[in-house]
Amino acid sequence: MNQNPYPAIAGKTSGKRIRCNPELLPVWQRLEQAALRGHHWARLAVRELHYLASGLQDKNNVYTRAGDRDPVTGNTRLTVFLPGLKATVVRWPNDNYCMTELVLDGNYFEATRDTREQTRMGLYRVTPSRDPKHWPTEYVDDGKVLPKDSRVVAVVDAGYETVVDAAREIVPRTMKHPGVPTSTIRQSGCDLHFTPGEKRLGGLTRYNALRQDSSRASALHLADSMMAARDIPGVIWVGDQGGSAVVTQAMQILVDRGVTLKGHSAYLYKPRTSPGDAVRLAHRLELTLNEAFADTGWDIQGALSQLSVAGVRLDHKQDPYNKGYHTQAWITGLVKAAGPVGVVGAGAAAIGASIPMLSGIVTVIGGVGVAYALGQSVAEDLRHKLKR
Amino acid sequence: MLNFLKYLPLEWRKRHEYCVPKGPSFRWAPWVTIPIAGSRLRLKAPRHSPRRSGEQWRLLPGRDLLDDPRLNHMATGVMANDYWGNAPALSRRFAFWGPWMSGCKAELAMSVCAWGRQKGHEFADISFFHPKAFEMVLVQYLNDYYGHKHWNVHTHIPRWHGPADWQRHNHLPVFAGSCKIYSQGPDPDITNNLSFPEHLFFFPITDQHFVEITFVQHLYSRDKNGDIAFDTAPIQALQDAIVNSISLELSPAAQASYDRIKKEVRNMQLPKEFAPLKWPIDPSASQPPASDSPNTATDQDRLWKL
């Protein structure tokens, strides 16, 4: 009997069989060895590949991307992003899959250099230190969040050289977000999820979080940490700038798995991807949200994204968001910063929206209440100016 | 002038090629004076120039560091127990920039603080000016700060290794020592898994307090293989220059204590060798000794035998 020259690596007993090219077999075996030695993330990668065998389809998963067709045979190709490895899987006509390319990051699985030099992807514990301006970090081998009530986990952007660099900038900022217990962080620190990389995630032209490739592996790490932290009460997941891409993708992975994070909460600071998408996922995960879910600052794109999902938030019974909250906050902020009445118009025009348009948006969302708020804040500001 | 333009503190195009970065000038650095319980510690350090905006920590002028005798407690988990307290005096960062806006290559973080025992947990009947007692205090401190941290409850691999490269210094009116503590990776089978040293410099300042000056070099620019892609000599040079500029003027009370001990103990020197301690320790092993009798821990036995 002829033995199939392509050895099977997953799905041998059930699900779809995944084979691999013979020259890739030693690489795959090295991965399995690392998993057996107890490296948490190697175990995760092997487990995920087996999981894929049971549910492999051609549509987009968070960490797989259905790509083009193979030019020679016309088979569909799938790219799989896992922590420390990137694989290309081709679908054969007999419904078997074959891994044709496997790129393994050796440094990652050996966990030497990157861990010591604080550039490894994953979860870190941040603690206060003898120096009040320094936040030392320690890598957590199994990616488990500290099991303390209301633990804060900050998910940071890529583009920082080391975790210590990121922690120094992020932690003082995170302490001040609404709903985050400042004194608890000062006393026992927080956790931090780090994504290495040269470029920041997301951005104006890359606003859809679910299409970002550079953060898919990191999102899988984070999803694993989130699932393990399900039973810790009150965990707050904070996405800082580009970290919103990782948070959104991780939430999508959890929604696909059917997991909920009841009692947890999330907040996005200056998200570089659409917060509207994130809110929809947050509802499905049964997260408890504050009225302010994302601080988009002066960003028009962010504000519009939040406005667009306002209807969804209003319909959702558990969401405390009420009519006009978001618009009121945005406009009030705009007015207060801009100063007296004459400048309000100029300020708004500078951003590209004129006052009539603003009130138009306002009436679409809510009723009379919000318009009153607009008038109120203008008058309030004027009174303040006249007192001087 | 050309240097100023060549090494602008901006990051426009990051390059990871070999270069010699430039940090703040030491020649034009101002002097910092820190009064600690009447004694005056003076050192020359450049102005705070971090890579990203961040404040420095400094003592307000006109105040003594130990005006308020209560010391800060450390956050939970930072030390093995709650017997220590500290008073931070100074914390600055100096960024080193590559030529022609090729990015920030490294940062040197400096921090000066005074340590002592919390009320109720003092080391009874000893003075930190006694060299042997100070050694014991140092061992206890290093064990409590670094020694208790490990990677895994099951494997007990320590996160830190040290003290290494112990040197004693004689340019101050009291004895002083410096050492390095290396960060250890989680895999013991890999040789040379030490990196990221913290450089510590210690000396006693009163009978119950000592001063610790910490330097950490953060190196940012690495090439494709992960090796350091620039010359680290300027950073080490700045660190050495600051350490050499330290001068101390003891208060009359501190000087009297020191002289009193000098009469009893002729040799006021720290030991020449200080071997790395055995880490991780069991947190319950770091109990404060009731008196200065050398019976409570094997490390202390080893010290007294020297």
Instruction: Judge contact between A293 and A275, C-beta under 8 A.
Output: yes
Which of the residues A131, A138, A144, A157 would you substitute to probe the B interface, choosing the one with the greatest number of B C-beta atoms within 10 Å?
A131
Torsion over CA: B73, B76, B78, B82 (sign): positive
Parallel, antiparallel, or unpaired for β A97-104 and A122-126? unpaired
Kindly state whether B54 is in contact with chain A, defined as any CB-CB distance less than 8 angstroms: yes
What the block records as the tokens of B255 is 């000087």
Structural contact between residues B268 and B262, judged by C-beta atoms closer than 8 angstroms: yes
Specify the DSSP element, H or E, that contains A236: strand A236-240
pLDDT of residue B161: 85
Interface predicted TM-score (ipTM):
0.76
Instruction: Confirm or reject contact between B55 and chain A (CB < 8 A).
Output: yes
Task: Please write the tens of the pLDDT for every residue from A327-358.
Answer: 555 555 444 433 333 333 444 444 444 444 44
**Residue A152, pLDDT above cutoff 90:** yes
Residue type, B78: V
**Who has greater pLDDT, B116 or A3?**
B116
Q: Looking at residue A113, what is its pLDDT?
A: 52
Answer whether B188 touches A (CB < 8 Å).
no
For the stretch A246-275, pLDDT in tens is: 999 899 888 888 888 888 989 888 888 888
- How many C-alpha atoms does A388 have within 13 Å on its Cβ side? 5
Token look-up 């040269």 returns: A198
CB contact residues (below 8 A), chain A span 307-336, against chain B? none
Residues B111, A134: C-beta atoms closer than 8 Å? yes
pLDDT score recorded for residue A353: 43
Identity of the residue numbered B26: F
| B263, two tokens | 């009469």
Do the chains contact at B52 and A111, CB–CB below 8 Å? no
Taking only the tens place, the pLDDT of each residue in A171-228 is 988 888 877 888 888 888 899 999 887 778 877 777 776 666 667 778 888 988 998 9
Minimal Cα–Cα distance from B273 to chain A, Å?
27
Closest residue to A112, CB basis, from B52, B56, B187: B187
Q: Which one of B14, B86, B186 has the shortest CB-CB distance to A130? A: B86
Residue A54 pLDDT level (bands cut at 50, 70, 90): low
pLDDT at site A349: 43
Mean pLDDT computed over every residue of chain A: 71
Q: Is the pLDDT of residue A300 over 70?
A: no
Q: Is any Cβ of chain A less than 8 angstroms from the Cβ of B183?
A: yes
- CA gap B245, B238 in Å, rounded: 11
Instruction: Return d(Cα A314, Cα A300) in angstroms, integer.
Output: 21
Write down the H helix ranges in chain A: 25-36, 40-55, 106-110, 113-116, 163-174, 182-188, 216-228, 243-257, 275-284, 300-308, 310-315, 325-338, 341-351, 355-365, 368-387
B49 touches chain A (CB under 8 A): no
Query: Which of B149, B151, B221 is facing A141, going by the closest CB pair?
Result: B151
Say if residues A293 and A323 touch (Cβ distance below 8 Å).
no
User: What pLDDT does B148 receive?
Assistant: 84
Q: Is B220–A162 a contact, with Cβ atoms under 8 angstroms apart?
A: yes
Minimal Cβ distance to A130: which of B111, B149, B196: B111
Q: What is the pLDDT of residue A199?
A: 78
Element (H, E) at B213: strand B209-219
Contacts of A260 (CB under 8 A, 6+ apart): A254, A284, A285, A286
Which residues, in sequence order, are bridge partners of residue A152?
Answer: A236
pLDDT at A56 over 80: no
- Distance, in Å, from the CA atom of A365 to the CA atom of A323, rounded to the nearest integer, reads 7
The answer, for B214 touching chain A at a CB cutoff of 8 Å, is: yes
Q: What is the percentage of chain A residues whose pLDDT exceeds 70? A: 60
Chosen from A41, A107, A113, A116 to mutate, greatest number of chain B CBs within 10 A = A116
- What pLDDT shows up at residue A71? 72
Q: Does pLDDT of A47 surpass 80? A: no
Pick out chain B residues at pLDDT < 70: 186-193, 224-226, 283-306
* Confidence band of A58 (pLDDT split at 50, 70, 90): very low
Average pLDDT in the A57-84 region? 67
Query: What is the structure's pLDDT at A216?
Result: 79
Rounded CA-CA distance B257/B254 in Å is: 5
Distance from CA of A215 to the nearest CA of B (A): 20
Q: Dihedral (C-alpha) A255, A260, A265, A266: value to the nearest 10 degrees? A: -10
Could you read off the pLDDT of B157-199 as tens digits, one per residue? 788 888 888 988 888 889 999 999 988 876 666 656 677 789 9
**Angle, vertex CA A162, rays to CA A119 and CA A101, nearest 5:** 35
Give the phi and the psi of residue A39 in degrees, each rounded to 5: -70, 120
Q: What is the mean pLDDT of residues A65-84?
A: 72
How many Å apart are CA A273 and CA A211, to the nearest integer? 10
Q: What value, to the nearest 5°, has the Cα angle with vertex B159 and ends B156 and B161? A: 105
Averaged pLDDT, A233-240: 91
Which tens digits make up the pLDDT trace of A363-374? 333 333 333 333
